[in-house]
Structure 1
Amino acid sequence: MKVLNLLRPLAFCAIVIGENLGAFKIDFKVLRGNDKRDLFLSDERPYIMKRDSSEMELQNRQTFYLANIKIGSNEDEVGVLVDTGSSDLWVMSHDLNCNRSSSSTSTQASPSSTSTMIASFGFEEDILNSHNEKRAIHGVQSLEWNETLVEYAADYAASSFSCDNVTLVHSNGPYGENLAAGYSGGYDPVDAWYDEIELYDFNSPGFNKSTGHFTQLVWKSTSQLGCARVICDNAWGQYTICEYSNTTGNVLGTNSETGLSYFAENVLKPLVNSIN
């Protein structure tokens, strides 16, 4: 989440959210509020934010709603401006305190160290679809989106990742996990993980650091997925973290009932009709 300088005395903040992202919850049961909309839009200054390296002016957006947004244990009624032409929701509030534990903004406030906890309707859909497209190549079940995993990923990213010092350190939590930095959107990081298939030996199945992302991605018995991302205002661009459960994947050892290693049972060769 990124605190923006709007050149005004009131404390404002701005975030981009989808329907939900981990600790972020938004409720649209409270609908349009014309009085607050008019007050919001009557300010002399337009609200300027950075979006995809271009400026975005929000003062005259066409669609305005009131909504309840909850970040952790804090809840506030906010104005929501829908960006026409995309599915992003730009949320502005006089009262919402952006500088809380879910924020990953650096205290140094330099461009290279600023990060934004960000989600949109597109990211979650894209990263789930990209996982399932790759898994379909191997004839294994599709994953389901799991909000518990999203919250875990978002919390770990917010507390442990720094755009100033980009290192991919696993949480060592109860779930399977894939990390990436420098890949944008929901498809690019998954493509990078899947490309490790070129190094995997299906005739000698097992774990290897050079193929661990791939085997995690296509693990047959895994059924749940949740991901989060951090956007860095530097060359790294995007940090992506995905969590996997039921089962975690990359399980060592042998199944006593079948006599096969868990890798042999869960990392399957591509289907013949999936190979170009």
Structure 2
Amino acid sequence: MTSGPAAPRAAGVLHVVATPIGNLGDLSPRAQEVLRGVAAICAEDTRRSGQLLSHFGISTPLVALHEHNEEAIAQRVVARLLEGESLALVSDAGTPLVSDPGYRLVRAARASGVRVSPVPGACAAIAALSVAGLASDRFAFEGFLPAKAAARRERLRQLASEPRTLVFYESSHRIVEALQDFVAAFGASRAAVLARELTKLFETVLDGGLAELLDAVQGDDNQRKGEFVLVVEGAGDDADATLAEGRRVYALLSAQMPPSAAARLAAEITGAPRKALYGN
């Protein structure tokens, strides 16, 4: 009796696994179980992820997947998934794809019919928002601002009238310059929260107006160290939104004409008070 052709092997699962942003106790039991059980783990930095896995006694092989090789590696990973292997994706810290590589792999896996399953956990943006005390029913995650000053200021001018709470990531070597640009674009009194080194030993969460946060960071060397999440209140009421839009338009016009003329024209266009624009 002859047998028919072998049934096709079922595809594996790509598990997208959140890892701690500081405190190792935040790696859930489920995440540990998944990381032990998969055939391999795709990691942004295999050395850093290797240290995390070693702490938990996990010896699963690692595959380097980062922004420079993701396009090429994704197809190889998908091929393994289609062969029936289950794999995991992690980033250096927190939830993969949130300001980290991985979306190309997830997109390729889904396009090939592979199941992609989240294993939720730590995320610095959500952690900061949860303790900020600012409106969280609607918010926009902006990630890292451009490194170059001109591009960063332009991005902030575009966001100044955004009514939703805004969440940003920033590095220690740019935090002072970034806060200076926030004050210029959003105004000194716009409410904000600066969360530093979340879940780590020297965690701090500061709140106040943007100018107050700038003063606090400039006045304390320790507040310029570590990893930062900045949560900024939205433009708020119509008056705030009008002023923010006026400042954005004024900044654009003042690059092409004298400041007084730019303020006058920006006030006419947006309805913002001219005196609040000129010299701001």
Structure 1 or 2: larger strand share?
Answer: 1
- The TM-score with structure 2 as length reference comes to 0.30
Structure 1 or 2: larger helix share?
Answer: 2
Taking CA–CA contacts closer than 8 Å with sequence separation of 6 or more, which of the two structures ends up with the larger relative contact order? Answer: 1
- The TM-score with structure 1 as length reference comes to 0.31
Larger Rg: 2
